[in-house]
Amino acid sequence: MKTMNDLEKANAFYGEAQDRMMLIPNYYLWIYSAFSDYIKGNVLEVGAGAGHFMPCYLKHVDHVYALDHNPMLTHHIEERFDSVKVSSVTADLCGDIGALIHGEMDVVIALDVFEHFDDDGALVARTAELLATGGFLLLKVPAQSDLFGHTDRASGHFRRYDPEILRKVMRKAGLEEVSLKFFNRLGAFVYRLRRNRDTNFSKTFNPLVLRVINLTIPIVAAIDRIMPGKGLSLIGIYRKP
């Protein structure tokens, strides 16, 4: 069991990674392009972090519950967004999430969340329970189990996913697949070269390089549409029947 000191260190590490990700807003817009047709109504974003993804979709929805275990980040969300449209929720995903939100969700968003849990199937099932009938789970997870290395361990990952493994987890939770595809093929090539560094992937780049990467994202996205092979992540859209 983690001590408070361990938890504080983990939160600080997570917070620093969030600071780095703030430098690449075009990356979040690229992710949003895969989900834009489905994000509407009442939304729960689990593992929302500092809310970097929310500006991509906020104007298109009725209400957002932004859930994260790190109180520093949920406090940041409270300061950053209009409380009429956004409710920040500080909670452990292994707890009773349903008691903290009001009503069933039209959409649940989980970007790079499920890989952080040993029992990912239980978490997916708990998440599916929060969806209204016909609602959508939109997810992004790290792909290619053979890429798993020190960087994943340093990031708190239990696994990387191959398509059939992810499909099995989703089927067991009673969710129907709408779409599942690889994402960021150039990123997979770079990750293969850096996967054995003992730190979060974003921290293997200095802030200047991240700003340059942000400028190149539209080009990277265009290449990704025509490039063969497997990507760094899997992007999935699942429906509750």
**Amino acid (one-letter) located at 171:** R
Q: What confidence score (pLDDT) does residue 196 get? A: 66
Distance CA 95, CA 115 (A): 17
pLDDT of residue 122: 94
Domain with 71 in it: 4-239
Helix boundaries (H) for the chain: 4-21, 25-35, 54-57, 71-80, 120-129, 150-154, 163-172, 185-194, 207-226
Number of domains forming the structure of the chain: 1
Q: What is the model's pLDDT at position 2? A: 44
Q: What pLDDT is attached to residue 4?
A: 45
Q: Record the tokens describing residue 52, joined without a space.
A: 């970097």
- 161 DSSP 8-state letter: B
pLDDT tens, N- to C-terminus, the chain (241 residues): 444 454 454 555 555 667 778 889 999 999 999 999 999 999 999 999 999 999 999 999 999 999 999 999 999 999 999 889 999 999 888 877 777 777 799 999 999 999 999 999 999 999 999 999 999 999 999 999 999 998 899 889 999 999 999 999 999 999 999 999 999 999 999 888 876 666 666 666 788 988 999 999 999 999 999 999 999 999 999 999 9
The CATH number of the domain holding residue 41 is 3.40.50.150
